[in-house]
Each structure stands twice: as structure tokens, then as C-alpha cells.
Amino acid sequence: MTPLAQELARLIRDEGPLSVSRYMALALGHPRHGYYMKQDPFGAAGDFTTAPEISQIFGELIGLWAATAWRMMGEPAPFRLVELGPGRGTLMQDMLRAGKVVSGFREALTVHMVETSPVLRERQRATLAASGMAPVWHERIEDALDGPALIVANEFLDALPLDQFVLTPEGWRERLVGLDGEGRFAFGLSAEPEGRMARAAPQGAVLEQPLAALETVATVARHVAAEGGAGLFIDYGAVQTGFGDTLQAMRQHGFVDPLAEPGDADLTVHVDFERMAQAGRAAGAAVHGAVTQRDFLLALGLEQRVAALSRRAVPEQAARLAAGASRLVAADRGTDMGQLFKVLALADPRLPLLPGFDLHRLPEQAAP
């Protein structure tokens, strides 16, 4: 048993079964034993790989997106470039480098990072040491927002805890994490059904309630609607709300039982982009997308970027660039990033449609 598993088992014996959100929050964020709090989980030697770690082109295109959005905002100076859950800091590093081509952009911005993990904060500091910027770290989003802002979050919402409910003949019951006869973690259901929830679902349906993600999105939306700017959320999930248990655990690039190794495996959920968009709209922002990551990156000029970088590269480098870029947009199977990942922007309603969301102006179709 992991040290965290022992602590959680004690908690369940003392206080009763845990909600899925409490289990997830402790597995990921326990101050000493939480998954993100004690280690750097990324890369080939880690548990999973994210888009910025696959290809520099991902961050470069998002940097150009941000610089273009900043121009559409009327080039406010100063303004904040904020990243939520920046991992190793690679996305921010690539964004800042690419943003150099838009004059005045880098001079106008200050970098703000929202990160709870001390290990990853150190890693981000090292990555950005040569960038010439002086990033400021925050525990909470609210503290990172002040004035016009562009907020970027890649694979952040999927790490925020949610609750689950299951439809039984007596109504919706909350899914809880308890202990079985042998002292192992097991899912169970609350004794009392939830009275207030609608019933239009098949028996056994699982309904997820992503309160922390919805709050995050609403905070960003409220801020940009009032102070100017936009938030960009990239993650895996569906464009339309559906039923189903999406809680998953990953270790060494494979799926494992979410209850087996709390603190030692990454725990995530799929993002419900329809509900995120609704929360953003309700908070006063305009909704752009969601579109697939494939459509978004191709519209931003992924292929042109690969071609431009390849002209200056030796053949092996060019092959690596092409392979990385194609992983970002591949859409052959349901698990490929291009189709599974979606991109949603929540923007100040005074802004025009942001780059990447106008699917009628794909680069291939643009006038020469």
C-alpha cells in the first residue's frame, strides 16, 4: 500500500466513504503524497506525455495565437499572460519564443503561472530561466488575474476533481470510495438518493459533476468579460454532454485501476466542453468553439510551420518535426489527439472571432 493509500484507508474508517472529488483531490494534491506534489510525471520516463512535450510547434502556434489575440485586444500594455497548470513550463517557453515575431507583445506582457506543485514550480522556473521574463507563481487563479489577460490551460481541467452520481431505481445516488471486506478500496453508492436531480437517463447511467472545472471556467470568463482578454482551454473530452464514468488512471503510459495506487498514478477525467461553454456564457463571455485540436492547429498553420522549420533542419530533425506534428493532429482512431482533444475559448464579447475558430478560413483555402 502506498503511504497515501494507508492515510485514505484510515480516513474512510474514521469518517466513512469519500466522495470521488475528495478521493481525486487527495490522490493528486495531498501536500506530501499527492501525485503532482511529489514528482515530475511527464515524458518518456514518466507516466504520460502532453502536447507541448511532443512538439515545440504546439506551443509556438499557441504563442502566435496569443500574440494575434493581443493585437485584436488593441495591444494593451501591460497585460498578463497566465498559464494554469503549466507542467514543465514547456508550453510557456515555446509561446514566448514564438511571440517575439509580433512587435511589442513580449514587452507588454508579464508571465503568471498558477501551480500548486512545488516540484513542478521548480521545474518551470528552470525551464523559463533563459526566457528573460520574471514569472510570478500563484496558488489560485483568482490571485493571478488583474487587468487584461490571456489565459491558457492545456490538460488542466482534466486534473480537477469531480463528483459522480449513478441512476438507480430509487433515484440518483452518489458514487463513493469505501473499503471492501478485505480492506481494499472499492466503489459504492450513497445510502440516500439525491432528491434534487432530474431523472431523464437510463438506469445505471453515470452523471459527472465537475464543479471545480466549472468554477475555474466561470472565473476566467467573468474576468475577461470585465477586463478584456480571453481564456483558451485545451483538453480531452466531448463537445456535447453525455453520461458515463470518465475517471481514469495512468501509469507508465498505460491505464491502471483508479483505486489501485492513489498518489502513484495520474488521475484524470474527460472534460464536458458543452457544460464548460455554458458556464462561460453564463459568466458573460463569448464562446469560441469548441473545435477539435486537429482543426484548431491546422487553422493556425501547423503544416506551414512544419515546412518552414524543416527547411532549416537536417533530415533527421525534419523527420522528427513531421512525426511530432502529425501526432498532434492525427484523427484516425478515437484515441488520437487530433480528434479526442478539443479547444474552447472564452473571450471578451467585444473581440472578433479568435484565430483557429473560423473553420471556413483554413490555410489551404486562403487566397494566395
Residue closer to ligand SAH, measured from CB, 47 or 295: 47
Residues of 268-290 as b/e, b for ≥16 C-beta within 10 angstroms?
A: bbbbbbbbbbbbbbebbbbbbbb
d(CA 248, CA 114): 24
For 131, other C-beta atoms within 10 Å of its C-beta total 16
Q: Which residues bind ligand SAH (CB under 6 A)?
A: 28, 36, 42, 50, 52-53, 85-87, 91, 114-117, 120, 154-156, 159
Residue closer to ligand SAH, measured from CB, 119 or 179: 119
Taking phi over 0 as left and psi of -120 to 50 as alpha, with beta for the rest, 28 belongs to: alpha
- Residue nearest ligand SAH (C-beta atom): 85
Residue closer to ligand SAH, measured from CB, 105 or 233: 233
**What's the burial of 365, exposed, middle or buried (CB within 10 Å: 0-12/13-18/19+)?**
exposed
Residue closer to ligand SAH, measured from CB, 156 or 185: 156
Q: Please report how close the Cβ of residue 52 comes to ligand SAH at its closest, in angstroms.
A: 5
| Location of C-alpha cell 483538453 | 235
Q: Please report how close the Cβ of residue 172 comes to ligand SAH at its closest, in angstroms.
A: 26
Residue closer to ligand SAH, measured from CB, 87 or 301: 87
Residue closer to ligand SAH, measured from CB, 54 or 72: 54
Q: Which three cell numbers stand for residue 222?
A: 467573468
DSSP 292: E
The residue type of 195 is G
Residue closer to ligand SAH, measured from CB, 73 or 113: 113
d(CA 124, CA 95): 14
8 Å CB contact between 290 and 231: no
Q: Please report how close the Cβ of residue 329 comes to ligand SAH at its closest, in angstroms.
A: 16
Q: Please report how close the Cβ of residue 292 comes to ligand SAH at its closest, in angstroms.
A: 17
Q: Please report how close the Cβ of residue 15 comes to ligand SAH at its closest, in angstroms.
A: 22
Question: CB under 8 Å to 307, separation ≥6 — which residues?
Answer: none
Q: Please report how close the Cβ of residue 202 comes to ligand SAH at its closest, in angstroms.
A: 32
Q: Please report how close the Cβ of residue 56 comes to ligand SAH at its closest, in angstroms.
A: 13
d(CA 266, CA 258): 8
